[in-house]
Structure 1
Amino acid sequence: MAQGVLSFPLASFHEDGTLDPDGFRAHIAAQLATAPGAIFPACGTGEFFSLDEDEYRQVVSIAVEEAGEAGGRVPVVAGVGYGWAQAARFARIAEEVGADALLVLPHYLVAAPQDGLVAQLERLAARTRLPLIAYQRGQVAFTAESLRRIARIPNVIGLKDGHSDLDRLQRLTLAAPEGFLFFNGAATAEIQARAYAAVGVPAYSSAVHAFAPEIADAFFAALRRGDHGTVDKLLRDFYVPLVELRDRVPGYAVSLVKAAARLRGRPVGPVRAPLTDPSAADLAELKQLLTTGLDLVGATL
């Protein structure tokens, strides 16, 4: 999965808020055509938190079907979450429709001690045959000792980090057994990709890939070949301004991505409540920023 950008596709909705399976299928096919390292349907960018179980089944099924049509070379890692009991229900669906693995999103609402964080994964792991990648973000943050414990759970294979605490992350990578996977899951992960790679975590997720795979892939390629001039230019002129726009309104981490996809003609529709679509002024700024980014890599809007 470190051989390409990790794709987190958007959920597709009609204007009335209902799921648009055909739009999602087209979006997934376009994402797969760029050969990402893996595809993660029904996660944060895919508005997992607003899908019911039937919609979740449709979304993950379509991702698996389209990955199969693309030759089955791209792993499909479906999101699951809430408490372990509900996560197990989603895991059962993902397993039934053929997902390759699961990303365990942070549990709902409450803070918990380390023993509870470990127990959450133990209970979920006991109820699915699929490999699990834990996602530490928000109220979930593992210590090195807890990392050793979850790494001993047979089907827990990795950790995605969204805290960007590189001191803690380095301690976790050193505590992990050989072959345990780590992923950079910071918001707009490209901003910190070099720093994460320096502590042994080169693989990262890219929200930009959902609307501009040309930009995401150009950044990834420049980073891999050590072209720091190109990396810096993309960061300075595209990624940093995107983050500054994203940080204006809660939820823009998803809303802006979806709006940018619509600007490029992708059939993804609006966000669902409690998220809101960008204002007209922010949308105009996003369009100009997207044009700038595409110009930098020789692509078009």
Structure 2
Amino acid sequence: MPDFSQRFLFDDSDIRGEMVGLSDSYRHVLAKHDYPQPVAQLLGELLAAASLLVGTLKFEGLLVLQASSSGAVPLLMVECSSEGEVRGIARYQAEQIGADAGLRELMPDGVLAMTVDPRSGQRYQGIVELSGATLADSLTDYFATSEQLPTRFWLAADGLRARGLLLQQLPADRLKEPEEREASWQHAVTLADTLQLEELLGLDNETLLHRLYHQEALRLFEPRALQFRCSCSRERSSRALISLGQTDAEALVQEHGGQVEIDCQFCNERYAFDAADIAQLFAGGGSQGPADTRH
């Protein structure tokens, strides 16, 4: 399975894990824009992180990770739905990006926002500074400062494949004593810290987990498919025009020579609307107008 998330549990301690691998969907995201390698790497790591986090949440809806800064990369944004559909985008200043630039060089004074947007229930957002040397460090800091379950991330991407590993300490069940729980957690984290990027990117899950935890009792669950899918549509674009009001929408069409085009920044899909489409929208005829959708 080229794109997946897979959960595992430690049978003798209160720790769960999640592993993610993205290849087809990652390449699909990169194919839409000519990203420099350091930007492609950061975007891949954030895609992996969002996919890991969705695997730990019990909800139906959308998870959004958005990093912003005043640097050469002012925006990274990825989305992952509870159905495993991912998309992502980055904004960057190519002339300011060195070949070996890392997170701190590309996104100084950055912040990371995590938004959980369920289909029913209350929307939640948390924000943390991008203070770590890597995205994995900053995500770990987010969980530490938000007083959630202790969580650690290991992320890697190389323009072809994005991978991620997550460990999360669960509430006390198998291990009741605080010292014992802490020792077990630190043991699992210390072993994961020995991972090399080449191992995370190149090894299959069973091999990687055996290499790290061959002395532990682990349960590895069935993988769950992930795929690139953009949520844009002609209908959603038409709603944006309707929100302007009929007068402004008609004026916009005139200003653009008889046809206004709405581009999706994630997938480069383009939706075109002419005067007849606008009239149909405000007459209650829906968004299926005569104008073609094209790339």
Aligning the two structures, in what range does the TM-score lie when normalised by the shorter sequence? 0.3 to 0.5
Between structure 1 and structure 2, the one with the greater Rg is 2
More strand by share: 2
Give the TM-score, by structure 2 length.
0.33
More helix by share: 1
Give the TM-score, by structure 1 length.
0.33
